[in-house]
Amino acid sequence: MQLGVFISEVTADRTSVGDLLANARRAEELGFATGWVPHIPWSFDGLAALTLAATVTDTLELGTAVMPTYTRHPLAMAQLALSAQAVSGGRLALGIGPSHPVVIETMFGMEYTSPAQHTREYAQVLRAAFACTGHVAYEGEHFRVSAMLDVPGAAPAPILIAALAPLMLQVAGEVADGTITYWANERAVAEHIVPRITRAAGQAGRPSPRVIVGIPIAVVDDVDRGLAEAAALFDAYNSISTYQRIMARGGDDVTPREIAIVGTEREVLTRLRAYADAGATDIAAAPIGLGPDPAAARRRTLELLGSLHGQF
């Protein structure tokens, strides 16, 4: 299992351009395998952020976790992704997902229909574009494409799908290179996510998929205080049905408080080993600053994670 880190904030905190570039440099210096960015309304466009990060790094794989699909045509997404791929010298991992009804319907005023079939076709259009032949042709229920597309210096990029439900895991296994999870604990990964996506990939004749576990992590001395702060910080996720269902896969009454890795250095290491044992191929860690000095706590967490490179 390889360790990666978010280089842009996943909470309500804001990341400036300077912060983003500094975080990307630091992640590479500490030996992380991957650097991730979310695509959220109060931050940068995910692919734009990674294109910037590519200019100050040399080896770090750069991934989106994740770009919403309904709000951007797959041909437009492909051109942006191939541009980022060209700038980064082939280090992009494109994470996509249909997002949630509250985002697509309420915020954007669009229809959130047939998300699994929509995502399947979306990934297939991306595959056609990533063939880099100069022309993209696709005929489906949701997308009909016949267009020129040629990005100088581009190369195919891995496609990862945010998949938590059974049907989405089936889609991810059949047409993508893996999945990115959020709010899935070790039990949900071992008993639900890994078996389903691996079986789907095998049946489709595809290689074993990556299973990238996105998870907040905080090293703290006062664990009770840290858990209380985490419960308040992530409470909003309890009201999102997609996350309710994946948390239920992890056991009765499981909430973000229990899933976020909040504890001593030893406890963090123990939980990470449990994810490796569960079948996760990657961790996308979101270092969270908790306690009386959040900035110092976040640095401490980042440095601990960096020191664990190669231990899983």
Q: Are 27 and 60 in contact (CB under 8 A)?
A: yes
Predicted pLDDT at 81 = 98
User: How large is the average pLDDT for residues 216-229?
Assistant: 96
What separation in angstroms does the CA of 271 have from each of 249, 261, 264?
17, 7, 11
Contacts of residue 192, defined as CB under 8 A and 6 or more positions apart, other chains included, come to 169, 184, 246, 249
How far is 135 from 129, CA to CA, in rounded Å?
7
- Determine the Cα–Cα distance for residues 79 and 117; give it in Å rounded to an integer: 22
Taking CA atoms, 150 is separated from 40, 46, 81, 154, 278, in Å, by 28, 21, 12, 8, 40
Give the DSSP letter string of 242-270: HHHHHHHHT-TT--HHHHSEEE-HHHHHH
- pTM score above 0.85: yes
Q: What is the largest CA-CA distance in the chain?
A: 58
**How far is residue 303's CA from residue 217's CA, in Å, rounded to a whole number?**
12
DSSP assignment of 4-59, as one string? Answer: EEESS-SSSS---HHHHHHHHHHHHHTT-SEEEE---TTS--HHHHHHHHHTT-SS
What local confidence, expressed as pLDDT, does residue 309 receive?
83
Q: What is the pLDDT of residues 230-274, one digit of tens each?
A: 999 999 999 999 999 999 999 999 999 999 999 999 999 999 999
For residue 115, what pLDDT is reported? 96
Share of the chain above pLDDT 70, in %: 100
* Higher local confidence (pLDDT), 310 or 212: 212
Q: Say whether pLDDT at 299 is over 90.
A: yes
- The rounded Cα 125 to chain-centroid distance in angstroms is 20
pLDDT at 11: 87
- Can you tell me the mean pLDDT for 294-305? 95
Q: Is the pLDDT of residue 310 over 90?
A: no
Residue 203 pLDDT: 98
What distance in Å separates the CA atoms of residue 145 and residue 136, rounded to the nearest whole number? 7
Mean pLDDT of 216-224: 96
* pLDDT (tens digit per residue) in 33-87: 999 999 998 899 999 999 999 999 999 999 999 999 999 999 999 999 999 999 9
Q: Can you give the pLDDT at residue 92?
A: 98
Q: What is the pLDDT of residue 76?
A: 98
Checking if the pLDDT of 306 tops 90, the result is: yes
**What digits encode the pLDDT tens for the residues 19-29?**
999 999 999 99
For the residues 270-280, what does the mean pLDDT come to? Answer: 98
Share of the chain above pLDDT 90, in %: 93
Among positive and negative, which fits the CA dihedral 215, 40, 125, 246?
Answer: positive
Q: What is the pLDDT of residue 254?
A: 96
Mean pLDDT over the full length of the chain: 96
**pLDDT band of 13, cuts 50, 70, 90:** confident
Contact 203, 176 (CB under 8 A): no
Q: How far is CA 19 from the centre of its chain?
A: 20
